Every structure is written in C-alpha cells, then in structure tokens.
Amino acid sequence: MDKTTIGIDVGTNNLAVSVFYNTDLKYYKILENKKKLSAGEKLLNIEKFLKEIFEKEKPDAICVEGTFWNPREARGYSYVSMAIGIITMTAWEVLHIEPVKLQPSSVKKIITGNGRAKKEEVADKIKEKFNITDNLADHITDAIAIGFSYVLKQSEVV
C-alpha cells in the first residue's frame, strides 16, 4: 500500500519538512522565520506553512524529532514545545492524525547504525542515500533523516 510520510525538524526560527512517497524522497522545504518576529507571528507562519503542505500531500504519517530537557537551553525548549503544539494542532485539524515522535538517538541509529553519531555523519548518509550533491542546511538533513527513519521503521514492521 502506498504511503506518504512527512518528517519535520522542529524550530520556531527554522522549520524544515521532508516529504516521502513510500521510500522515495519527493521533496524538502524550509520555513525561515525572521528572528525579529514575535513568537506568535512565528507560530502563525508555521501553521500556515504546514497547513499548505498537509492539504496538498495528505500524509499518512507525520513524524517529528522528540525533545529533551536541557536546563541550559530552557528558552529554546519552550519555543520548540510551542512549535510541536502547532504541528500537533494543524495535523489534527487538517488530517485527524497525531505526529509520531522519534528520539534523536533512534534517528541516528536507524540512519547510521550508531545512536551517538555526529550530525555530519547523519548528513553524509542522507546525502549519499538520496544522491544529494548540494550543501543542505542542518534543519533540512534532520527533516529528511526523521522522515526516512520513520519510513524504514514502518517497513520493518510489515
């Protein structure tokens, strides 16, 4: 059965999306919010950006990277949590599905075989797998890795 999966690297300044049709990477896209915008404006931009993609692609699954608490980055954690709330709300509003969360170590293990791999190692594997020669923003390679990890996990289940 054909499936469309969306992987999302969550952030309020930069939010990246990857779209998979079965195991094929269809495309990737990034929303770059201006830093001077208020948190509310950024969240509205995220909602609009995602709504357009969700309505167009009608994914069967949406996956995001799970968050972890770091007291030294409490403010960033707060903003990421708000963005995840917007993603969850928009996914439910448009598709009546809830995003699946994958932990960073799980994504790294699925993509590289090492749960403690560095970002560069994950990016290299993604670029190699999908024959990408361009330099990609970290957010984009993360979104691709998240989406592809979910796709691979699901193919193991079947």
Q: What CATH number is given to the structural domain containing 106?
A: 3.30.420.10
Max mean pLDDT among 63-67, 79-83, 137-141 falls in 137-141
- 3-state secondary structure at position 13: coil
Q: CA 48 → CA 39, 83, 148, 150, 156, distances in Å?
A: 14, 12, 24, 24, 33
Q: How confident is the model at residue 149 (pLDDT cuts 50, 70, 90)?
A: very high
Domain range spanning residue 25? 4-157
**Total domain count, the chain:** 1
Whole-angstrom distance, CA of residue 44 vs CA of residue 123? 29
Backbone angles phi, psi at 126, to 5 degrees: -65, -45
Within 10 Å of residue 143's Cβ, how many Cβ atoms? 29
- Give the burial class of 146: count Cβ atoms within 10 A of its Cβ; 0-12 exposed, 13-18 middle, 19 or more buried: buried
Give the tens place of pLDDT for each residue, 43-52: 999 999 999 9
Which pLDDT belongs to residue 156?
75
Which pLDDT belongs to residue 158?
47
Among candidates 10, 116, 107, which has minimal Cα distance to 64?
Answer: 10
Query: What's this model's pTM, rounded to 2 decimal places?
Result: 0.93
Q: Is the pLDDT of residue 145 over 60?
A: yes
H-type alpha helices, 18-137: 39-57, 74-95, 104-112, 119-129
